[in-house]
């Protein structure tokens, strides 16, 4: 059964159950209206408390608007004060620990439930379902602290619908965004929504009756599929009228040479050839023109200026200057057949008439701080746009205002308006190149921005919103489990949720500067009359004065709250998408700094990319799934007793190995698990100690020796004794093991690449050198370039022909040359074949090498300490080793001093350096 099949597109069958008594949070009410009335009054009392309004992330809006939009206790358009009641009946039980979900996940962006609302980002709910099933059981409580439009709640409803007789799972959905939480409420609503269709249809009919005269046009055009330019002439008036589907509007520019006003459509567009020219000609002086600087020099063209006009704004009640636009093409319907025409005098007169109407909407300045725009503002493109309503034609705004006014007492209907709002704005793009495909010529807004195109579309709102009935049905007619609770606030303060009460956390947090949510949501939230408090929005925003460190700080605050409320031994899954290493490092550090232990990183394939993913060459094509766990109470207790000792360190490693998957298979091949390799196990052990302000008792050299003595090694990975038999059994069932691909760009990755190469095949310098040079094509500009010989001498051993052939070389040669099999290790033929081959040393010798290497690195770090100027090129491994030693010695000032000498981007993009630096700053009492 598909995910969409779980909910039929029809009203709930048992209407009597809806009309009868309802139980909510242990209380029984006569009906659902009584439930809502009771909790609305309780919420009203809370809103009168000034302290309640001081909760972090409290939205900007009046008490009445918040109450009208809310559906308490399931949804509040402010922090939800009823969340504490969700846990009153929660009974925690001793549960066997669950290992990490060890598989890539995928989900379709084409599902009906996913595509209902055009919100900027969503995780397909069917991609979340496997994770919920793996990490939780019926009756569990799942939290999403960056819930967006509530896809985690939808996924939980999928799981509950599959096992209707089981105790339902509950979901707490938290988001700072007002419109996001409102959408989440509609996706997971517990209220009977069947009646909403009658109200929706009635409202559309009433507004259509009073406003659609504005969208009438006389039938004088040609069929829309006509490709003959000679036929594209308005015919004589026929007395027949059609209904406008949309009007194409074009920017008007001014020729810099003669000041003639140049309509972009008239001069640059060849409609029937489906072409928009980058360079076009001024009708008056015939000079070449272009509207983008990139075409100016290349084509010897003149860059146009934007023509403006004065207009009396009936919403503001004053005259403003705005970008001049011209209606250029009308698409309309007559008896089910689509036609096109050039606007005639009557059409222009009707547009002029609509410009004088006063829509029933508020005049809200952009970003609700005077005329301050944000990060999506572009000079010229947004000329005259100072308030949200300037993104709409006055005619569209008049229709929307009427519809919102009629449905004011039933605001769930506003969900339908938010679905269509962006397509009804000037953001809607028209592309003649898609004209041959009638379903694609109107391509909608450009995602992730408030870009107003030079050729935009004004869509007739009523017919468009009528077509959204099916989309609304997939939400309003579903049968949710009545166990989702939505709160509108910052996740940096979840004080309404008690400690250690959440069973699992799935979240899709903001990704640095990818999207500026509060600004992009401003149009929707102006319709709802409540706005996001963006002061605590976790993004990187140049316009908002937020840098990467602000993003990291806000993410840390949220993840610390997640750590507090999650039960010990339970898991958090963080879905992440960003192509910038610095943002990846920030989110990774925020997870570990909060106390979580990262156990695995997988991919999430959404099947269809975003606009940026599909357009930009360097864009990341798949999202990442980070799995981390909160250490069990037993481990924390044992660690508290043994902290700073080798016993405590190895106890952590043993526990961590128990959380990792034993075997991963894909396409009949075993997949190498990076988390089981000794260098990452060492990193996890170090991070666990540092985040708890405990001295690391084991050096890298000691760790590499000790891990081989304590745990079983297979294919370069380490296992508990009880895990080895399972791995060996499954390893025999596959044809090969796929090693992780390593991108060589610094000393550490070069060492790992060489280790992987020598593990499979001990080689001479002459053999490995050309392979190595092919890999080192993008060495970091700040990293001191090292010769291959230096890397080999400091990290590997070379057999010089003296003494027995090392075991690793012997195993390789005897497996690949028949004549060398079953020979003792000192036979001359074997020795000759093995001579000058480099190989990975055994643990004891590797430990000795590591000590020598660390000594050399620390010697180099001492030089960095003495340098008075910025370090442009340096050995990153030396800085890492120096930071670690200084932290062990509690010499935090050295860490901070050297950190100030290296480029900020290096510090921000290296998780190890950032960990030492942040800890040092914290210990020194700084920020």
Which DSSP string do the residues of 369-420 spell out, in sequence order?
STT---TT--TTTTTT--BGGGGS-HHHHHHHHHHHHHTTT-GGGHHHHHHH
Residue 490 has pLDDT above 60, yes or no: yes
Identify the top-confidence range among 196-200, 279-283, 784-788.
Answer: 279-283
Q: In the prediction, which pLDDT does 578 show?
A: 63
The predicted structure's pLDDT at residue 773: 81
> Going by C-beta distance under 8 Å and a sequence separation of 6 or more, which residues neighbour residue 658?
97, 99, 720
Residue 121 confidence (pLDDT) above 90: no
Most confident of 175-179, 291-295, 730-734, 740-744: 175-179
Question: In 3-state terms, the chain is what percent helix, strand and coil (to 5)?
Answer: 45, 15, 40
CB 731 within 8 A of CB 737: yes
Q: Give the pLDDT score at 94.
A: 65
Which pLDDT value is given to residue 12?
A: 36
pLDDT attached to residue 76: 96
- Residue 883's pLDDT is 93
Name 488's bridge partners: 175
Which pTM was predicted?
A: 0.85
**pLDDT, position 109:** 64
Residue 834 has pLDDT above 50, yes or no: yes
**Eight-state DSSP code of residue 367:** G
* Confidence category of residue 341, pLDDT binned at 50, 70, 90: very high
Which pLDDT band, with edges at 50, 70 and 90, does 844 fall under?
Answer: confident
- pLDDT of 573 above 90: yes
CB atoms within 10 A of CB 896: 17
Residue 850 pLDDT exceeds 90: no
Residue 426, pLDDT > 70, answer yes
Residue 307 clears pLDDT 80, i.e. is over it: yes
Tens of pLDDT, residues 890-913: 999 999 999 999 998 888 888 888
Contact 271, 435 (CB under 8 A): yes
922 vs 347: which has the higher pLDDT: 347
Confidence of residue 479 (pLDDT cuts 50, 70, 90): low
**122-126, 131-135, 353-357, 367-371, range with the lowest pLDDT:** 367-371
CB 521, CB 119: distance < 8 Å: no
Taking 80 as the threshold, does the pLDDT of residue 413 lie above it?
no
Instruction: With beta carbons less than 8 A apart as the criterion, state whether 633 and 600 touch.
Output: no
**Mean of the pLDDT values across residues 863-882?**
91
Report the half-sphere exposure of 356 (CA within 13 A, side-chain side). 4
Query: What is the rounded CA–CA span in Å between residue 538 and residue 492?
Result: 10
User: Rounded CA gap, 801 and 782, in Å?
Assistant: 39
Query: What are the pLDDT digits (tens) for 602-611?
Result: 776 654 444 3
| Average pLDDT along the chain | 86
Rounded distance between C-alpha atoms, residue 884 and residue 891, angstroms: 10
494 and 174 Cβ atoms separated by less than 8 Å: yes
161 vs 156: CA distance, rounded Å: 9
Residues 582 and 588: their CA atoms lie apart, in Å, by 10
pLDDT for position 194: 62
Query: 518 Cβ partners below 8 Å, 6+ apart?
Result: 176, 177, 367, 374, 531, 532, 534, 537
Residue 4 has pLDDT above 70, yes or no: no
What residues have CB less than 8 Å from 319, skipping those under 6 apart?
310, 311, 312, 313
Report the distance separating Cα 879 and Cα 864, nearest Å: 8
For residues 532 and 489, give the distance between their C-alpha atoms in angstroms, rounded to a whole number.
9
Dump pLDDT digits (tens) for 782-816: 888 888 999 999 989 999 999 899 988 998 998 88
Looking at residue 266, what is its pLDDT?
93
Q: Cβ-count burial of 63 within 10 angstroms (0-12 exposed, 13-18 middle, 19+ buried)?
A: middle
What is the structure's pLDDT at 882? 93
Give all strands (DSSP E) within 5-148, no chain letters.
Answer: 22-24, 27-29, 75-76, 105-106, 141-144
Q: Work out the average pLDDT over 365-383.
A: 73
Report the 10 Å Cβ neighbour count for 106: 15
Q: How far apart, in Å, are the Cα atoms of 273 and each of 71, 228, 329, 444, 741?
A: 52, 10, 15, 21, 47
State the pairing for strand pair 141-144/502-507: parallel
Nearest to 274 by CA among 438, 446, 436, 454: 436
Indicate left, alpha or beta for 545 from its phi (over 0: left) and psi (-120 to 50: alpha).
left
Residue 569's nearest CA partner among 627, 630, 628 is: 630
Prior bond to 73 cis, omega within 30?
yes
What is the spatial distance between Cα 13 and Cα 20, in angstroms, rounded to a whole number?
A: 14
pLDDT tier, 600 (very low <50, low <70, confident <90, very high otherwise): confident
pLDDT at position 616 is 31
Name the band, by pLDDT with cuts 50, 70 and 90, for residue 333.
Answer: very high
Structure-derived torsion over alpha carbons of residues 770, 774, 775, 780, reported in degrees to the nearest 10: 110
* pLDDT band for position 15 (cuts 50, 70, 90): very low
Q: In the chain, pLDDT over 70 holds for what percent of residues?
A: 90
Query: pLDDT tens digits, residue range 657-681?
Result: 999 999 988 888 888 888 999 888 9
* Confidence band, pLDDT 50/70/90 cuts, at residue 464: very high
Helical packing angle, 892-899 and 843-866, nearest 10°:
70
Query: Nearest 10 degrees: CA dihedral of 647, 648, 650, 651?
Result: 110
500 vs 372, residue with greater confidence? 500
Tokens at 799, concatenated: 């057999």
Confidence grade of residue 491 (pLDDT, cut at 50, 70, 90): very high
Please give the structure tokens belonging to residue 845.
């010798």
Selected residue with higher pLDDT from 714 and 779:
714
Mean pLDDT across 574-597: 83
Which pLDDT score, from 0 to 100, does residue 236 have? 83
Name which residue leads in pLDDT, 857 or 736.
857
Mean local confidence (pLDDT), 262-271: 93
Number of C-beta neighbours around residue 295 at 10 A: 17
Tokens of 474: 């997939």
**Which pLDDT score, from 0 to 100, does residue 617 have?**
31
* pLDDT at 13 exceeding the cut of 70: no
Task: Return the residue matching tokens 């992780």.
Answer: 740
What percent of the chain clears pLDDT 90, i.e. is strictly above it?
Answer: 48
Output Rg (C-alpha) for the chain, integer angstroms. Answer: 32
Among 136-150, 315-329, 369-383, the minimum mean pLDDT is found in 369-383
When pLDDT is averaged across residues 91-114 and rounded to a whole number, the result is 71
With the C-alpha atoms ordered 727, 730, 736, 742, is the resulting torsion angle positive or negative? negative
In this prediction, residue 192 carries a pLDDT of 55
pLDDT at 612 over 60: no
User: 662, 622, 741, 690: which is closest to 912 by C-alpha?
Assistant: 690
- Average pLDDT in the 65-81 region? 94
DSSP alpha helix (H) spans, 566-609: 581-593
- Please tell me which residue, 541 or 265, carries the higher pLDDT value: 265
In whole angstroms, what is the distance from residue 739 CA to residue 133 CA? 29
**Per-residue tokens: 289:** 């023109």
């Amino acid at each position: 059964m598909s995910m969409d099949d779980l909910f039929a597109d029809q009203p709930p069958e048992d209407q009597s159950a809806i009309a009868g008594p309802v139980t909510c949070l242990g209380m029984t009410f006569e009906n659902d209206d009584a439930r809502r009335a009771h909790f609305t009054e309780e919420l009203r009392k809370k809103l009168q408390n000034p302290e309640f309004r001081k909760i972090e992330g409290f939205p900007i809006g009046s008490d009445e608007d918040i109450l009208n939009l809310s559906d308490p206790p399931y949804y509040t358009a402010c922090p939800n004060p009823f969340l504490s009641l969700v846990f009153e009946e929660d009974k925690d039980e001793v549960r066997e620990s669950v290992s990490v979900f060890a598989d890539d996940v995928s989900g379709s962006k084409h599902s009906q439930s996913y595509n209902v609302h055009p919100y900027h980002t969503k995780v397909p709910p069917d991609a979340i379902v496997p994770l919920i099933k793996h990490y939780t059981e019926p009756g569990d409580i799942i939290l999403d602290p960056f819930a967006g439009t509530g896809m985690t709640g939808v996924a939980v409803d999928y799981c509950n619908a599959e096992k209707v007789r089981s105790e339902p799972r509950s979901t707490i959905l938290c988001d700072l965004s007002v419109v996001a939480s409102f959408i989440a409420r509609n996706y997971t609503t517990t209220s009977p929504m069947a009646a909403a269709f009658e109200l929706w249809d009635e409202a559309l009919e009433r507004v259509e009756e009073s406003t659609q005269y504005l969208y009438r046009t006389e039938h004088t055009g040609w069929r829309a599929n006509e490709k003959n330019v000679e036929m594209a002439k308005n015919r004589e008036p026929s007395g027949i009228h059609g209904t406008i589907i949309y009007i194409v509007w074009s920017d008007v520019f001014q020729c810099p040479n003669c000041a003639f006003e140049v309509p972009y459509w008239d001069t640059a567009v060849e409609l029937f050839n489906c072409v928009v020219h980058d360079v076009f000609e001024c009708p008056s002086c015939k000079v070449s023109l272009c509207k983008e600087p990139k075409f100016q020099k290349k084509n010897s063209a003149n860059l146009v200026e934007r023509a403006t006009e004065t207009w009396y704004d009936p919403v503001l009640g004053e005259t403003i200057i705005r970008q001049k636009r011209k209606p250029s093409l009308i698409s309309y319907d007559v008896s089910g057949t689509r036609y096109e025409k050039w606007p005639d005098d009557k059409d222009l007169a009707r547009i002029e008439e609509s410009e004088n109407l006063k829509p029933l909407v508020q005049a809200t300045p952009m970003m609700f701080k005077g005329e301050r725009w944000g990060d999506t503002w572009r000079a010229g493109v947004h000329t005259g746009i100072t308030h949200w309503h300037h993104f709409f034609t006055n005619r569209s705004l008049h229709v929307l205002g009427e519809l919102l006014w009629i449905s004011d007492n039933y605001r769930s209907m506003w969900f339908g308006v938010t679905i269509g709002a962006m397509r009804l704005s000037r953001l809607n793009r028209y592309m003649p190149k898609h004209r041959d495909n009638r379903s694609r010529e109107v391509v909608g807004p450009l995602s992730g921005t408030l870009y107003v195109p030079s050729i935009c579309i004004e869509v007739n709102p009523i017919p468009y919103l009528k077509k959204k009935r099916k989309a609304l049905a997939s939400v309003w007619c579903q049968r949710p489990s009545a166990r989702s609770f939505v709160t509108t606030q910052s996740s940096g303060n979840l004080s309404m949720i008690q400690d250690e009460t959440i069973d699992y956390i799935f979240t899709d947090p903001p990704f640095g500067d990818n999207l500026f949510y509060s600004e992009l949501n401003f149009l929707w939230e102006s319709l709802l009359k409540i706005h996001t408090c963006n002061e605590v929005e976790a993004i990187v925003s140049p316009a908002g004065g937020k840098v990467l460190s602000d993003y990291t700080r806000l993410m840390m605050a949220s993840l610390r709250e997640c750590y507090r409320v999650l039960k010990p031994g339970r898991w958090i899954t963080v879905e992440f998408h960003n192509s910038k290493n610095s943002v990846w490092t920030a989110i990774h550090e925020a997870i570990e700094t909060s106390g979580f232990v990262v156990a695995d990183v997988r991919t999430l394939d959404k099947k269809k990319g975003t606009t940026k993913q599909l357009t930009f060459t360097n864009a990341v094509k798949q999202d990442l799934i980070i799995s981390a766990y909160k250490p069990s109470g037993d481990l924390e207790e044992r660690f508290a007793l043994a902290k700073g000792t080798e016993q405590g360190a190895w106890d952590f490693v043993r526990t961590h190995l128990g959380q990792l998957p034993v075997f991963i298979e894909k396409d009949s091949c075993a997949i190498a698990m990076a988390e089981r390799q000794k260098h990452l196990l060492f990193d996890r052990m170090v991070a666990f100690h540092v985040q708890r302000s405990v001295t690391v008792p084991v050096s890298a050299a000691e760790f590499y020796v000790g891990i081989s003595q304590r745990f079983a090694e297979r294919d370069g990975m380490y296992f508990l004794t009880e895990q080895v038999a399972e791995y060996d059994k499954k390893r025999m069932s596959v044809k090969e093991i796929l090693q992780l691909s390593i991108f060589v760009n610094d000393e550490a990755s070069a060492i790992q690449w060489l280790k992987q190469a020598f593990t499979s095949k001990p080689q001479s310098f002459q053999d490995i050198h050309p392979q190595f040079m092919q890999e080192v094509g993008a060495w970091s500009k700040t990293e001191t370039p090292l010769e291959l010989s230096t890397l080999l001498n400091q990290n590997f051993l070379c057999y010089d022909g003296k003494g027995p052939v090392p075991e690793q070389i012997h195993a390789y040669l005897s497996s690949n040359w028949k004549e060398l099999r079953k020979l003792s290790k000192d036979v001359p033929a074997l020795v000759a074949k093995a001579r000058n081959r480099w190989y990975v040393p055994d643990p004891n010798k590797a430990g000795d090498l590591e000590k020598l290497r660390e000594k050399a690195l620390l010697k180099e770090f001492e030089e960095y300490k003495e340098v008075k100027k910025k370090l442009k090129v340096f050995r990153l491994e030396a800085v890492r080793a120096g930071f670690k030693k200084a932290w062990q010695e509690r010499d935090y000032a050295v860490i901070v001093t050297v950190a100030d000498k290296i480029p900020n981007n290096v510090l921000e993009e290296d998780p190890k350096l950032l960990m030492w630096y942040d800890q040092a700053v914290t210990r020194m009492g700084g920020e």
